[in-house]
């Protein structure tokens, strides 16, 4: 099974590129940029990655990305992950990135975009790895700020496949971002949102009704509402479920008790992704292997999940055909 999963061409729809920053690269970039880290060693950093909830993780996630300063840093971050993922048999990645988390630190959008887009181009030209771009907005910050960032990003609209909504979900309902998502729709941008990770099933319905999203990131808490499950089943809206992330952030207590089998049994369009691989114990292959071990899935389940992901990936029809 492990060899099959390594060989299987895998597609990842939910990956925060800043969450792919391995401690080794964090130390290298800190040195290059003359930044002092709160850890003495890589081992110490890794030992700190023990979380009791989403907020506990986000605190370290925002702290970690502080080493990213230059275009080269963003390029190195992304190409490092792309190379690793390709080595694990990943063939397509839809990548979230968080402009506000960098703008707040005085890093211009141009720096972020130039580095990430250069890495994407290189991956597509020489790694046989296609990459979709999701400009994500931080739901624990004001909608007015998000709207300004989206307008200022006008030169880059043509390079992004969708906007997303991430960061602290509790008490930051989708409805708060109605104006942002309305504007994105006017511009012609596809919309996705994290919902039903730590937040209630109602937030999934809100993201569908008010934000008009085409994809729900996580969505595991849909099982708390039969009505929401039925909507997701009927519309075949894709869920980007992140098994190791859910265990790390205590959304589920143990992978063996993960709701994934129930989601599949209900006929929902499920995919699996790594979310923040540097923080949650591994990339897309590690997530596949962990599910095989904990849930006892056979090859057909993994083929189905990856077929779902290929159908929903932000890529050209030609590339989609190649991946099928």
80/275 with CB nearer Zn ion = 275
Q: Binding of ligand HPA at residue 167 (CB under 6 A)?
A: yes
Residue 221 DSSP label: G
Residue that has been written with the tokens 């990956």 in this structure = 15
Strand order in the sheet with 215-218: 10-16, 90-97, 130-138, 162-166, 190-195, 215-218, 238-241, 269-272
**Cβ proximity to Zn ion, 220 vs 268, nearer residue:** 220
CA–CA gap between residue 64 and residue 162 (Å, rounded): 25
* 275 belongs to the binding site for Zn ion (CB under 5 A): yes
Which H helix or E strand runs over 218?
strand 215-218
Stretch that binds Zn ion, among 133-141, 221-229, 258-266, 268-276 (CB under 5 A): 268-276
C-alpha 41, offset from chain centre: 27
With CA atoms as reference, report the closest residue to 14 among 223, 239, 222: 239
Distance separating the N- and C-terminal Cα atoms of the chain: 21
DSSP element (H, E) containing 153:
none
Q: From the list 71, 88, 166, 312, which residue makes contact with ligand HPA (rule: CB under 6 A)?
A: 166
Measure the CA–CA gap between 286 and 292, rounded to whole angstroms.
10
Q: Which stretch binds Zn ion (CB under 5 A): 109-117, 229-237, 270-278, 285-293?
A: 270-278
Q: Compute how many residues bind ligand HPA; rule: CB under 6 A.
A: 11
Query: Does 197 participate in catalysis according to the annotation?
Result: yes
> Is residue 215 involved in binding ligand HPA (CB under 6 A)?
no
Under 8 Å CB-to-CB from 266, ≥6 apart: which residues?
223, 229, 233
Q: Interface with Zn ion includes 206 (CB under 5 A)?
A: no
* Annotated binding-site ranges: 14, 16, 194, 275-276
x/- string (CB under 6 A) for ligand HPA, residues 12-51?
Answer: ----x--x--------------------------------
Burial class (CB in 10 A: 0-12, 13-18, 19+), 121: exposed
Query: Which option in Zn ion, ligand HPA, none does residue 167 bind, with CB closer than 5 to 8 A by kind?
Result: ligand HPA
| Interaction partner, residue 306 (ligand HPA, Zn ion, none; CB < 5-8 Å by kind) | none
The reply on whether position 309 binds ligand HPA by CB under 6 A is: no
Nearer to Zn ion, 127 or 248 (CB): 248
Which residues sit in the known binding site for substrate? 276
| Nearby residues of 88 by Cβ (< 8 Å), 6 or more positions away | 6, 10, 283, 284, 285
Question: Of 197, 198, 206, 312, which is the active-site residue?
Answer: 197
Find the shortest distance in angstroms from Cβ 210 to ligand HPA: 19
Binding site for ligand HPA (CB under 6 A): 16, 19, 54, 61, 166-167, 194, 197, 245, 275-276
| Residues of the shown chain interacting with Zn ion in the complex, contacts defined by CB under 5 A | 275
Q: Which residues are catalytic?
A: 197
């Amino acid at each position: 099974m492990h060899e099959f999963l390594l060989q299987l061409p895998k597609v990842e729809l939910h990956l925060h590129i800043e969450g792919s920053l391995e401690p080794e690269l964090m130390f290298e970039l800190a040195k290059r940029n003359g930044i002092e880290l709160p850890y003495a060693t890589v081992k110490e950093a890794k030992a700190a990655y023990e979380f009791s909830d989403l907020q506990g993780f986000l605190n370290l996630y925002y702290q970690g990305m502080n080493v990213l300063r230059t275009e080269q840093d963003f390029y190195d971050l992304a190409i490092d992950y792309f190379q690793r993922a390709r080595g694990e048999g990943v063939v397509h990645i839809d990548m979230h990135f968080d402009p506000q988390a960098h703008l707040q630190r005085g890093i211009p959008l141009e720096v972020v975009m130039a580095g990430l887009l250069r890495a994407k181009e290189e991956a597509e030209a020489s790694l046989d790895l296609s990459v979709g771009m999701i400009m994500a907005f931080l739901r624990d910050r004001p909608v007015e700020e998000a709207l300004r960032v989206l307008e200022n990003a006008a030169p880059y609209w043509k390079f992004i496949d969708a906007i997303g909504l991430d960061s602290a979900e509790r008490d930051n309902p989708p409805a708060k971002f109605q104006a942002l998502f309305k504007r994105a729709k006017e511009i012609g941008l596809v919309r996705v949102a994290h919902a039903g990770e730590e937040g209630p099933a109602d937030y999934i319905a809100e993201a569908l009704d008010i934000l008009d999203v085409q994809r729900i990131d996580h969505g595991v808490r849909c099982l708390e509402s039969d009505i929401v499950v039925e909507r997701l089943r009927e519309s075949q809206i894709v869920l980007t479920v992140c098994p190791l992330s859910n265990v790390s952030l205590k959304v589920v207590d143990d992978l063996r008790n993960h709701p994934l089998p129930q989601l599949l049994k209900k006929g929902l369009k499920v995919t699996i992704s790594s979310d923040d691989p540097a923080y949650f114990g591994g990339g897309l292959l590690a997530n596949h292997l962990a599910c095989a071990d904990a849930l006892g899935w056979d090859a057909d389940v993994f083929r189905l999940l990856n077929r779902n992901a290929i159908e929903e990936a932000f890529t050209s029809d030609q590339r989609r055909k190649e991946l099928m």
